[in-house]
A = this chain, B = another copy of it.
Amino acid sequence: MTEANENNDQENSPTPLEQATYLLQKYKLVAGLVHLQGISDESLVESTVQKQNLSELQDFLDQLHPADIAHILEALPLDDRLLIWSMVKAEYDGEVLLETSDAVRATLITDMGSKELVAATEYLNTDEIADLAPDLPQEVMDDVFRSLPIAEREQLREAMSYPEDSVGALMDFNVITIREDVRLEVVLRYLRRLEEMPDHTDQLFVVDRNEHLKGVLLINRLLVSDPDTLVAEVMSKEMIKLHPNDVAQQAANAFERYDLVSASVVDDTDKLLGRVTVDTIIDFIRDKAKSEALNLAGLSEDEDLFAPVLKSVKNRWVWLAINLVTAFIASRVIGMFEDSIEKLVALAALMPIIAGIGGNSGNQTITMIVRALALDQINNRSTWKLIFKEIGVSAVNGLIWGTIIGLLTFAIYQNPQLGLVMGIAMILNLLLAALLGVLIPLTLRKFGHDPALGSSVMITAVTDSGGFFIFLGLATVFLL
């Protein structure tokens, strides 16, 4: 962690990524020059300079934290990435793989042999291996299983059995357990015999002989209490107990609300299975926020920044296809009114305004509702209040913007009726946006879908087609 320290120390010192890029360039530049000039008898110079450059790069990488290496790999184009990857210490391989995003991890794993992959898992805990498992080839996982002691084999099987996004998938097995009938003195001596304690150990778990959780002894309590005290006297019986099949979001909410560092995971009989720690929760929160942003923009999954073009196309086509369908429907709605547009061509120029602002307003409503649903703030009682509120907001906005746009239209086209139709269409489309902005996410949720996924596309489809229909329909009836 020296690097991180040094970097935080001086604000203008280069980041690990900048340093790595610089050293990499230096190495590649010489390689390029030699190659360019076809100088063969300079192979001596080449090898000396190059060896030096390479070892400089190697030294730099060796002192980096695995998380920093992962960050550098993410930011490099594929060829540079694989060059750096080949230079990472074998004992860091596993940790670096854990820290990279799914897309980049895949490029690294493809570059490794089976043996290398098995070796990489040797430095990992079973719960960490389980995190990598979905990305590893079957034969590698078979070898990994064979290489583990029986107890850990069982743990790995257990860790792999939990569905993604469950508490079980976030759980690790690094718990220290103690009994309630011993004195703190004994606990302290027991701890002193350990070589080190697992990271994020802020509490010891008090269990009976059947491993049922009785309470927790906070390390902070342990340190300030008289060593003669019994564990039972200072342990806390009020604690967060998670279950492996709970959804992970629930655990994240608990950590956020109660400011936890670790929390126990128990089965239905209160038997201690493991724990969840705050570092895992932070990763979960970050990944969740990332995938939400990706989904909103119509990217199916995480994408390597330097993914080959065809891979990116594959990642993005679904939403483009959906968008094509909704755009096509909107186009057909306009097609219905081609006669009207032929008679009054101004309609063609004005209609995107109605559709666009409706879409923007609808997305504002959707965002409010999706957020409130995620935070569990909406129940049946409040639904009506929300619909009324959003309709109220839209009515006011409609009056304001409808008036402005109506006057603008009148100013440009000198046609008061056209201005009036424009203003009324604006109000109606904003009301439509408000109503469906509340109903779409609530309905998705009711049927068990993620209320965020696709909401934005749907509301835009509605406000586009709906906006065109309202505006052109009104124009056809009242103007022509």
Enumerate chain A interface residues (CB-CB to B < 8 A).
1-2, 4-5, 8-9, 11, 15, 17-18, 21, 25, 65, 67-68, 71, 74-77, 99, 188, 191-192, 194-197, 199-202, 219-221, 223-226, 238-243, 246, 250, 254-259, 261, 278-279, 281-283, 285-286, 289-290, 292-294, 296-299, 303, 305-307, 309-310, 312-313, 316-317, 319-320, 323-324, 326-328, 330-332, 334-335, 338, 341-342, 345-353, 355-357, 360-361, 363-364, 366-368, 371-372, 375-379, 381-382, 385-386, 389, 392-393, 396-397, 400-401, 404-405, 408, 412, 464, 468
Contact = CB atoms under 8 A, between A and B. Distances in A.
Contact of A338 (B261, B349, B468): B349
A433 to B, nearest CB: 11
A353 to B, nearest CB: 4
A162 to B, nearest CB: 16
A404 B328 CA distance: 12
A325 to B, nearest CB: 10
A250 to B, nearest CB: 8
Contact of A261 (B65, B99, B278): B278
A15 B379 CA distance: 11
Main secondary structure of the interface of A (DSSP, over half): helix
Contacts of A342: 342, 345
A224 B192 contact: yes
A389 B67 contact: no
Contacts of A239: 1, 5
B397 A4 contact: no
A222 to B, nearest CB: 8
Contacts of A377: 17, 71, 74-75, 305
- A-B interface, 10 closest residue pairs, ranked by CB to CB distance from nearest: A297-B367, A259-B279, A348-B348, A67-B257, A75-B377, A309-B392, A334-B349, A327-B356, A289-B289, A197-B220
Nearest to A386: B305
Contacts of A75: 372, 375-379, 382
Nearest to A259: B279
26 contacts: A5-B241, A11-B243, A21-B379, A25-B381, A71-B376, A71-B377, A75-B372, A75-B375, A75-B377, A200-B261, A256-B286, A293-B367, A299-B364, A305-B377, A309-B389, A309-B396, A316-B397, A324-B357, A327-B357, A331-B352, A334-B348, A335-B412, A338-B345, A341-B341, A352-B464, A356-B464
B240 A316 contact: no
A224 B191 contact: yes
Contacts of A353: 324, 327-328, 330-331
B368 A15 contact: no
A220 B196 contact: yes
A332 B349 contact: yes
A368 B319 CA distance: 15
A109 B300 CA distance: 43
Given A8-B240, A381-B21, A257 B338 contact: no
A104 to B, nearest CB: 10
A67 B258 contact: yes
Given A360-B298, A379-B17, A385-B306, A259 B199 contact: yes
B397 A313 contact: yes
A363 B401 CA distance: 26
Given A316-B361, A320-B397, A345-B338, A188 B223 contact: yes
A259 B280 CA distance: 8
A44 B99 CA distance: 66
Contacts of A221: 196
B296 A328 contact: no
A240 B195 CA distance: 24
Contacts of A335: 346, 349, 412
Contact of A258 (B65, B309, B363): B65
Contacts of A310: 396
Given A310-B396, A330-B352, 4 more contacts: A8-B241, A290-B371, A334-B348, A338-B346
A17 B376 contact: yes
